Structure 1
C-alpha cells in the first residue's frame, strides 16, 4: 500500500479528501491528516508517508516552505500541491523545486485519482529500482565475503577497500569465523524457499542479538550454511565471551523458532588471510556434531581427535573376531553390547566423520561376510534396495548410525536363524532336486544320486530319510506316480508312452507299480476319470 498524508488547515476539505475516493481499492492508505506544516513534519518522521497532499496556503508555514522541508527529511516523498486559481504561478514555481504535481481547486474526483495513480507508478518504479540495487549490493557483498573464506589469493589492500565499499570499517584486523547449520534442515523443509526463509530468520536473530563489540559480517555460505565473520574491536577480547554469545543464539533459536542449530567456531586469527584459516577450523569443528551431538556450539579446540582406542580408524582385530563369533552364534544381546562398546570408543576418542564412516563400513563388511559364508544371498536377507554406504551417510548423528548398524546385525541373525541349514540338509535337498529333474531316467537309483552329490549311498539314504521323512526309492516312486497320474488325466497318451515318460521300460511293470501305489490299474483309473 502507498501511504498518503493529508496536510490542510480546513477540516471540511480534509474530510472531503478522506471520502472522495475508495483509497484502498486503488492501493492507497491514508496514514494521517494534519492542520499545518509543523504537524506535518512530525508525522513525516513518525509514519514516513509516500505521498503528501499539501495545501499551498496554511498558517505558520506555507505549502512551498513545507515542501522544501519535507524533501530534506525524506527526499523520496511525492508531493502534490493543492492550490487555487489565484495561486497558480506560485504552484508552478513549486514544481521547479521538486514538487511532483499540483491540483487546481476545484478539482474532480477523476483528476485527483489520475494524479495519484501517475505518482503511484513513479513511486513504485523508484521502490523497485531501490530493491534491485539493494539486492545487487547484497549479492555483491555476499559473493565477496564467500571469496574471503574460499580463496587465499586476495590482497590485504583490496580486501580493506572492498569492505569499506560495503560500509565495513577495519577495527582490529583480527578475525574469528563461525559456521551455523540448521539441524535436519533438508528433512524439515523440502521447499527451497522455506529453507531460505528460516536461514534468513536465523541470520536476523544473529545480527540483532549477539552483543559483541566489533564488526559482524553475516551471510549465506556454501552448502546451505550461515557464516559469521567477527572482527573484535580489541584483539584480546575473550574467546569465552564469544562462545557464550553463540550459545545464547542457540537458546533463542530453539525458544522462538522451535528448531535447533549447531555452530562450529574457529579460533581468532590475525590479518585478512586468517579469515579462511578460521573458517576451515569452524568447518572442521562443525563436522564433529556427528560424533559429539547437535544443538550446541563446538569450538575448534573441542574437536581435537583422541589418541586412545581405534588409533587408525579401524576396529581392533580382537574386537572384530568377538563380534563375528557372536554373530555366528546368533547371540543378539552380545552383538548389541559389543557394538555399543565400539561406539562408546568412537565418542570418547572424538573421531572425525571420515574415521567414523571407515569404522562403520568395516562393521558392515563383517556382517555381510557372515551372511555370505552361510550360503545366503545378501539381497535375500536385506532386500534389493540395500545400499549400506548411502543409508549410513543419510544418518544425522552417531546415535542414528549406531541404531542402523545394530538393526542390520539383528536382521542378519534373525534371517540366518530362519534359514539355518545343516550340511546334511543341503545334501538331502540337492538329492531331492536331482530326482525331480531325472525321475524319467529308468536307470535312476540311489547309487547314481550318491555319485552326483559325492557321498556314499548309505549316507545318502540316511540323510534323505532324516530330512524328508521317506527313503530315496520311495521318493523316486512318488515322483514317478504323480507325473503318471497327471499324464493319464490329460487323456492323450498311450499307456506305453506314459510308462516311458516316467522311467519304466516295461508297460506291464508300470501298470503293477501304479496299481500298488493308487489301488487301481492305470486303465481303470482312466476309465473312472472318463
Structure 2
C-alpha cells in the first residue's frame, strides 16, 4: 500500500479528501493528516508518507515552505499542491522546487484520482527498479551522477575524486560538459514502460558509438527520465578537438534508422565538479527551447541563451479583444486573435516559463467565459480536463496554438448550440445599446432599461449574471477603453476626448481613468 498524508487547515476539506475516493481499492492508505505545516511535519515523522496532498494557504507554515522541508527530510516524497487560480504563481514556484503536480480548486474526484494513479505508477516503477538485479556498482554510479547534477551537491573535490576512483571512473582536469536528450512525443508513442526504456537504451547505444572524445563519456538518466550525456575532457586541447556536430548527427541517425525524433540541449563547458550542475541546467534550458523552435535538433546554450531570454511585455488589450469576440460569438475573429497572440509570443522570443504563464492566462479567460455564460466546464471539456497538464503535453508552439483554438472552438460551439434565454437576450441588447451610446453623458441604467422595455432592477440583475459586472462598471469600461484608443491616435485634446466618451467634467474623467488604469490620461498620452 502507498501511504498518503493530507494537509489542510479546514477539517471539512480533509474529510472530503478522505472519503471522496475508495483509497484502499486503488492501493492507497491515508496514514496521517495535518491541520497545518507544523503539525504535518510532526505527523510525517511518525508515519513517513509516500505522497502528500498539501494546501497552499495555511497558518503557521504555508504549503510552499512545508514542501521544502518535506523534500529535505524525505527526498523521494511526491507532493501535490491543492490551490486556487489566484495562487498560480506560488504553484509555479512549487513545481520548480520539485512538487510533482498541482490541482486547481474546484476539482473533480476523477481529476484527483488520475493524478494519484500517475504518482502510484511512478512509485511502483521505482520500487520495481529497486528490486531488480542491478549491480551495486551501477547503483552507486547512478547515485553519484545524480548528486553531481543536483544544486545541493556540496561534497568536496577530494571526496568526489575518491568516489570516482572507487567506481573505476578516470578523473582528468575537471572540465565538464552536459547534454540532455529527450525522445520527442515519448508518452504518445509508447504506453509500456518497458518499451520506453528499450528505446532510451537504443538512443544511448548509438550516442556511445558516435561521440568521439579524449576523456570520458558518462551516460545515465536523470530523475525525470531524460538521457544525460556527461563529457569530461582530458585537457583544453580536447575541448577544441570535440565536434559538437556529433549531437546533430545523432538526431539524424535516430530519425533515419529508428524512425522517431529526439531533441538535445547542450550546456557549455564548466570547470570543476560543482560546474556539472551549471552545465546540466544550461542543457535543460536549451532543451526547453524546443517549445519555441521545434524538435528534432540539437540546441546549444551558448548560441541561444540571448535569443530566447526575453520577458517581453504582454498587452492586456489582446485578452480584452479575445474575450469581446467570445462574448459576441465571432468564431473567425476568435481564431484570428489567438493566431495574433501566438505570433506576438514568437516575435517577443520569451522564455518558456513566461509563455506557459501567458498561455494559462489565456486558458483561464476561456474558462471564465464558459462560467460567466452559465455553462459547466465539465460538460464541454469532460470531467478529467486538467488545463495545466493539457498545456504541458504539447511540445511546441504550433501544437499549443492549434490546441488553444480547439479549446475556444468547443466553448463557442457549445454556447451556439444552446438556446439563448430571454434574460440573456435582454442583457445582450443592453450591452449593445451601451456600446453604441457610451458618448451620451446621460446614459444610465434607467435610460437603458427604458430602451429595451424592462424594469431597471431586473436589468441590473440579469446584466450582472450574464456579464459578471454591473451596468455602471461596464459603461465605465467601454468609455475608458474608447478613451485609450482616442488618446493613442494623438489627434484630439484630452478635454475633447473626455466629452467624446461621455464625461462632462474633464477632472472627473481624469480621476476615473487613473483609478481604472493606474495612470492619468496625460501620463498615458506621454507614454505613447
If the length of structure 2 is used for normalisation, what is the TM-score? 0.51
* Alignment correspondent of 2:291: 290
Aligned to 2:438: none
**Structure 1 contact 305–349 (Cα < 8 Å) conserved:** no
Cα offset, 1:266, TM superposition: 0.8
Q: Does 1:184 align with 2:166?
A: no
Distance apart, 1:210 and its partner CA: 1.0
Indicate whether 1:148 and 2:148 are aligned: yes
Partner of 1:441: none
Residues 220 and 229 in structure 2, CA contact (< 8 A), matched pair in contact too: yes
Counterparts in 2 of 1:376 and 1:211: CA distance versus 1, 3 Å: same
For the 8 Å contact 2:311–2:350, the answer to whether it is kept is: no
CA contact (8 A) 1:179 1:264 kept: yes
**CA 1:285–1:384 in 2, change beyond 3 Å: closer, same or farther?**
same
Equivalent position of 1:412 in the other structure: 411
Pair 384,171 (structure 1): closer, same or farther in 2 beyond 3 Å: closer
Q: What root-mean-square deviation, in Å, do the aligned CA atoms of Structure 1 and Structure 2 show?
A: 3.1
Hey, what does 2:370 align to over in structure 1? 371
1:488-529 Cα deviation digits (max 9, x unpaired): xxxxxxxxxxxxxxxxxxxxxxxxxxxxxxxxxxxxxxxxxx
1:397-431 Cα distance to aligned partner (Å, 9 max, x none): 2222211110111122222223252646778xxxx
Structure 1 residue aligned with 2:254: 253
> Does 330-339 or 375-384 show the bigger shift?
375-384
The correspondence of residues 7-46 of structure 1 with structure 2, limited to 5 A, is none
Aligned counterparts of 2:162 and 2:377: Cα–Cα separation in 1? 61
2:374 is paired with a residue of what secondary structure? coil
Alignment of 1:443-454 (within 5 A): none
Deviations 1:263-306 (A, max 9, x none): 11111111121111111111222222222221111222344366
Deviates more, 1:229-238 or 1:261-270: 229-238
1:136 aligned to 2:136? yes
1:351 — aligned with what? 350
User: Residues 143 and 320 from structure 1, CA distance in 2 versus in 1: closer, same or farther, beyond 3 angstroms?
Assistant: same
Q: Which runs of structure 2 are paired with 1:411-430 in the superposition (5 Å)?
A: 411-421=410-420, 423=422
Residue 316 of structure 1 is matched in structure 2 by 315
8 Å CA contact 1:305, 1:350 repeated in 2: no
In the TM superposition, 1:292-307 aligns within 5 A as: 292-304=293-305
Superimposed CA distance per residue, residues 300-320 of structure 1 (whole angstroms, 9 cap, x where no aligned partner) = 2344366898625xx311111
The change in CA–CA distance for 1:269 and 1:169 in structure 2 (over 3 A counts) is same
- Aligned residue runs from structure 1 range 222-241, under 5 A: 222-235=223-236, 237=238, 241=242
SS in 1 for 2:264: strand
Please say if residues 309 and 345 of structure 1, whose CA atoms lie closer than 8 Å, have aligned partners that are also in contact. no
Residues 69-468 of structure 1 correspond to what in structure 2 (within 5 A)? 135-150=135-150, 151-235=152-236, 237=238, 241-304=242-305, 311=312, 315-421=314-420, 423=422
1:187 shift after superposition = 2.7
CA 133–171 in structure 1, closer or farther in 2 if over 3 Å, else same: farther
Seen in structure 2, the aligned counterparts of structure 1 residues 139 and 397 have a Cα distance that, compared at 3 Å, is same
Given that residues 305 and 351 in structure 1 are in contact (C-alpha distance below 8 angstroms), is that contact kept between their aligned partners in structure 2? no
Contact 2:266 2:298 in 1 (8 A): yes
Q: How far does the alpha carbon of each residue in 1:197-237 deviate from its partner, in whole angstroms, 9 at most, with x for none? A: 22222111111111232211112222111111112233255
Tell me the number of residue pairs that the alignment of Structure 1 and Structure 2 aligns: 299
Matches of 1:378 and 1:240 in 2, distance apart?
A: 57
Distance 1:382 1:229 in 2: 43
For 1:348 and 1:241, locate their aligned partners in 2 and report how far apart those are by CA, in whole Å.
Answer: 34
Moved over 6 A (4+): 307-310
Query: Cα offset for 1:246?
Result: 0.8
Report the alpha carbon displacement of residue 371 of structure 1 after superposing the two structures with TM.
2.9
> What are the ranges of 5 or more consecutive residues in structure 2 without an aligned counterpart?
1-131, 427-452, 459-528
1:216–1:231 Cα contact (<8 Å) kept: yes
2:69 is matched with which residue? none
> SS of the residue aligned with 2:149?
helix
1:224 match: secondary structure: coil
Cα distance, 1:391 vs structure 2: 1.8
> For residues 221 and 308 of structure 2, what CA distance do their matches in structure 1 show?
35
Shift of 1:239: 6.9
